[in-house]
Structure 1
Amino acid sequence: KKKTKKVDQIKKCDSDIVCLQEVDHFHDFYNLEFDKMGYECIYVQKINREEGLLTIFKKGIFTLAFQNEIMFDLKIPLKLAKNHYTRNNLCQFIQLRHNYSNKQILIANTHLYWDPRCEEVKFLQASVILEYLSTQFSIKDNIFLCGDFNSMPSSNVIKFIEEKKAPNISRIENIFQKRVKMTDEVIIYDLFKQKATINLKSSYSNYQGTAQHPDFTNYTQNFKGALDYILYNTSMEDCRLIGIQPLPINEIQKELGLPNADYPSDHLPITAYYEIQTN
């Protein structure tokens, strides 16, 4: 069964914290399985949908200090056409206390809108997350933003998150579409650029010394690309990136697409290792 394989994959990774997206069957399956493995589960379900976001953490290592979520549909600026941006996506925020050092870390888990034609929707959703992180937390807090951003490293979305870059609309070919997107993305950028003060960087941004992300984290017959990220606050004082888990790129490229017998999802799990300063 696919669900059992996903649990086995997480058991094999043995991570202290795991962020999952598009999780269904939480109450009748995953909650029980992860509890048996020593994880505490924090689940938030989408409105009128059978799936949601799930963050799990090892009970012996962390204690829940705070949790919150943002429904992006409630954060659409008045200057934008509301219906176009109403997409039922959300972000989950979980603050954990590290039991051995008493240090606090914040985990944000999200799944941005899927449609590649609607980058402006994802741009708004990412901007809302950055505003929340920048206004609710300190510049030196231990902050991690994880999830499926449905956005390539070269996209306006990731460029804004990592570099605060203004949207580049030159690569949109259709004139009408360019005008609409330019207007919307520039409006969003202008609304949020002063509020998004936190500096985030992808744990995989220098994959195997290439100064680039891996070729893909999502691998299907019709699409192959890097869409998943573990971003960290570059100014945090208590946590240090010490390594990442390499992806089986060569092995996967022999396949037409995922999922298959060995990989139960069309997304590969990405893993980053951080050291918490305990002094």
Structure 2
Amino acid sequence: MYVVSPECQFLYEVMRNTLSKARVVESMSTAHVSSLVKKPFIGSKPLAHSLVALNAAKAARLALAIKSPESEAHPMTTKSTAIENDILKHRHLVELHKVKNPMKTVSVSSYNILSRHYLWETLYNYLPHEYTNWNKRLERLDRSFRDLSKLSDIMCFQEMEYKYYTDYWKSYMKSMNFDSVFEKKPTPGYWKKSPNMMDGVSIFWNTDKFDLLNFEKINFSDYFKNSVNFEQTLDTKQRLNIRNTVAVIAILRHKYTNETIFVSNTHLYWSPKHDDVKLMQTYLLTQLLRHSIARHYRLSVSQVSEMIKQKNGPTIIMAGDFNSNPSSMVYKFMADGLIDRQNVPPTFDQYYGEKFQDQIQNCLGSFKSPYKDLYNKGLFKKTTYTPKFKDVIDYIWFGDCNEKFSFTKVLGDIDQEYLKDYQGFPNKEFPSDHIPILSQFEFK
């Protein structure tokens, strides 16, 4: 027979009352909610009463946020959150390995959300206006974020507009217990709009499951232009230095296991004629990740390399839009950990310095994609869907250097019958020309 202490019973009641009050307060008038928020609740009252009042006030603040004019003006908040999860409407989670302990799992998603400023009519002229209208897309994106947050512990986004991140999405996701870091791309010469409308990459993490230990924002061009890092050849100057590609690294502590995870998110250069650029950008990101790992553990880079060789290295996740399909040099670099210049396509004839002439080595070793088996079996064929281009170019890579970390589930492909009705995305249910990908991992 279990004996429940008065303290445990009290904490249980506080939690139960808080949830109850959050639901009740939603129905109150804004004025009533405001009075609750402003009402003092800690003073000479006994501790128990103060804690209950404190949680009631938190519930009131939550309801006030829901009722704020800014929220009411936004299309997302006028919708009920009791609907089914839209992410799983035409897709399903595929179990690849059994989960042994749900508390030790980590779910990571990646999603290129298609900046409104890249929705050019010449490229997306197959779409009706209702699919390209920003307000309608914004509503669908909000719903996707909300539903993705129910499936993910870490979310990586590409082409997220800086203005909407700072003005809305940052706080919107924080209301669902997700903190974030963001890196905006430098504005290119052709950009005539406000710099705040430029897009970038972001990482969101569930604060119930993770603590942020550190983060790093990366502008690739800053490193390529540095002669200490890269020989300033003609190809370096004309092909690498001029790109406005960025990345962000977050170092997170998994609260339950106390394990540290190094997560990067990037959006590599887009052009199919620049596979070499994407390869060099990936190479640079792995180098910077190794430096982040070395700084965090106060090790030399050679010590980190030795850890990786011994398969007792750190937990590393590299997510993003790599703009590279599974037959690309970037994929080979990640999957094999090495590019041999003797076996590259003849189009890769650029010269980036003597150290890249024979081999281009991944300093973090090889990586695995949880989607590899599904792709090889023809069960997962695309992460972007347009009339002229359907392929896998988005990835959630995890380092093969930590044997204690493995994948368990992925978010599967879209139902093929559904796709027959659409030339490409976005549409009334998918707000981007990409689809979100998601992988669940587990610490052993």
Q: Into which bin does the TM-score normalised by the smaller protein fall?
A: 0.7 to 0.9
Identify the range of structure 1 (48-57 vs 254-263) with the bigger mean alpha-carbon deviation: 48-57
More strand by share: 1
Percent of aligned pairs sharing the same letter? 27
Contact 1:135 1:195 (8 Å CA) reproduced: no
Contact 1:130 1:161 (8 Å CA) reproduced: no
User: Which residue of structure 2 lines up, in the alignment, with residue 106 of structure 1?
Assistant: 262
Q: Which has the higher contact order (CA 8 A, sep 6+)?
A: 2
Query: Which amino acid counterpart does residue 232 of structure 1 have in structure 2?
Result: F
Q: Distance in 1 between matches of 2:395 and 2:353?
A: 24
Residue 127 (structure 2) pairs with residue 4 (structure 1): no
User: Which residue of structure 2 lines up, in the alignment, with residue 38 of structure 1?
Assistant: 177
Contact 2:379 2:413 (8 Å CA) reproduced: no
Residue 334 (structure 2) pairs with residue 161 (structure 1): yes
CA, structure 1 residues 135+220, in 2 after alignment: closer, same or farther (shift >3 Å)? Answer: same
User: Which residue of structure 1 lines up, in the alignment, with residue 28 of structure 2?
Assistant: none
Contact 1:123 1:188 (8 Å CA) reproduced: no
Residue 438 (structure 2) pairs with residue 271 (structure 1): yes
SS in 1 for 2:365: coil
SS in 1 for 2:372: coil
User: Which residue of structure 2 lines up, in the alignment, with residue 128 of structure 1?
Assistant: 284
More helix by share: 2
Query: Which amino acid counterpart does residue 5 of structure 1 have in structure 2?
Result: R
Residue 122 of structure 1: how far off its partner (Å): 0.7
Q: Which of 231, 243, 248 matches 1:92? A: 248
Residue 363 (structure 2) pairs with residue 196 (structure 1): yes
Identify the range of structure 1 (247-256 vs 54-63) with the bigger mean alpha-carbon deviation: 247-256
Residue 376 (structure 2) pairs with residue 221 (structure 1): no
Q: Distance in 1 between matches of 2:250 and 2:141?
A: 22
Q: Distance in 1 between matches of 2:254 and 2:186?
A: 32
**Deviation string for 1:84-124 (max 9, x for gaps)?**
22110011110001111211101110100011111111111
Q: Which of 14, 21, 24 matches 2:158? A: 21
User: Which residue of structure 1 lines up, in the alignment, with residue 322 of structure 2?
Assistant: 149
Q: Which of 247, 253, 258 matches 2:425? A: 258
Residue 222 of structure 1: how far off its partner (Å): 1.8
SS in 1 for 2:381: coil
Contact 1:204 1:213 (8 Å CA) reproduced: no
**Deviation string for 1:153-196 (max 9, x for gaps)?**
100111112111325544x5xxxxx3xx3233796744873562
User: Which residue of structure 2 lines up, in the alignment, with residue 247 of structure 1?
Assistant: 413
**Deviation string for 1:232-277 (max 9, x for gaps)?**
0112144221111112151335410000001001001000001134
Residue 46 of structure 1: how far off its partner (Å): 1.2
Identify the range of structure 1 (132-141 vs 213-222) with the bigger mean alpha-carbon deviation: 132-141
CA, structure 1 residues 59+219, in 2 after alignment: closer, same or farther (shift >3 Å)? Answer: same
User: Which residue of structure 1 lines up, in the alignment, with residue 223 of structure 2?
Assistant: 75
Q: Which of 226, 229, 232 matches 2:398? A: 232
CA, structure 1 residues 186+214, in 2 after alignment: closer, same or farther (shift >3 Å)? Answer: farther
Q: Distance in 2 between matches of 1:187 and 1:3?
A: 48
Q: Distance in 2 between matches of 1:192 and 1:135?
A: 21
Gaps of 5+ in 2: 1-135, 188-194, 225-229, 294-303
User: Which residue of structure 1 lines up, in the alignment, with residue 200 of structure 2?
Assistant: 52
| Greater Rg over alpha carbons, structure | 2
Q: Distance in 1 between matches of 2:141 and 2:390?
A: 21
Contact 1:23 1:52 (8 Å CA) reproduced: yes
Identify the range of structure 1 (266-275 vs 82-91) with the bigger mean alpha-carbon deviation: 82-91
Q: Distance in 2 between matches of 1:143 and 1:132?
A: 12
CA, structure 1 residues 183+208, in 2 after alignment: closer, same or farther (shift >3 Å)? Answer: closer
Identify the range of structure 1 (223-232 vs 248-257) with the bigger mean alpha-carbon deviation: 248-257
Identify the range of structure 1 (3-12 vs 222-231) with the bigger mean alpha-carbon deviation: 3-12
Contact 2:339 2:361 (8 Å CA) reproduced: no
Relative to the length of structure 1, the TM-score reads: 0.88
Q: Distance in 2 between matches of 1:108 and 1:246?
A: 22
RMSD value, Cα:
2.2
Residue 231 of structure 1: how far off its partner (Å): 0.1
